Amino acid sequence: MILPKIEIKRILYATDLSESARNALAYAVSLADTYRAELTILHVLNDDPRMNAAIMGFVDEDKWEAIRDRNAQDARAALIGKRRENLEMREVMEYFTETMKEDIGEHHVTMDETVIVRGNPVDKIVSVANERNSDLIVMGSYGHGGITGAIMGSTAQKVLRRSKKPVLVVHLPEEA
């Protein structure tokens, strides 16, 4: 069997800004350097419907509706360019990107873009990888196994099941 030549031109690095994701960054950068691939950073603001139910325990329905209406208005304003969406998260991601550049050291990596989207992390990671024609998704995982992993599942496990793109899942190294 003759193995096909693997070309990796675009890597999507999905981060939740955790230590696990930071550990996966080393792999994303190393692969981007090795293959001279563009590296896109993705952070998803989780829009979990279960969060709505949890919030309803803290505020009454009218207050929650007012908050949701205000956020819808903000989203419309962002779409027509009157307001930058997710200013705080953008600032955090800009800082993350700057410190990441310091950590890269001698690697030569082309940073394509930092993308921040709102929604279900699994859906967004898979859809952004497809939209950007990524050749590889790199992400961290906490490595929860056993009953916790079976009941909850993880974002990484779900991306592995749903993505048609190759996915590299990086676990935190075990303490020495």
Digit-coded pLDDT (tens) for 91-125: 656 666 666 656 666 666 667 778 888 889 999 99
For the domain that residue 120 is a member of, what is the CATH number? 3.40.50.620
The whole-number pLDDT of residue 151 equals: 40
The number of distinct structural domains making up the chain is 1
Share of the chain above pLDDT 70, in %: 56
Q: Is residue 130 part of a domain?
A: yes
Q: Is residue 42 part of a domain?
A: yes
Dump pLDDT digits (tens) for 38-73.
999 898 877 665 555 555 555 566 766 666 566 555
Q: Is residue 63 part of a domain?
A: no
71, 45 Cβ separation under 8 angstroms: no
Q: Residue 149 and residue 166: Cα distance in Å, rounded? A: 21
Q: Is residue 80 part of a domain?
A: no
Mean pLDDT within 144-166: 73
Q: Is residue 161 part of a domain?
A: yes
Mean pLDDT within 6-25: 88
Q: Is residue 66 part of a domain?
A: no
Q: Is residue 4 part of a domain?
A: no
Q: What residue numbers bound the domain in which 165 lies?
A: 10-48+86-171
pTM: 0.68
Q: Is residue 64 part of a domain?
A: no
Which ranges in the chain belong to alpha helices (H)? 19-35, 49-55, 61-79, 87-104, 121-131, 146-152, 155-162
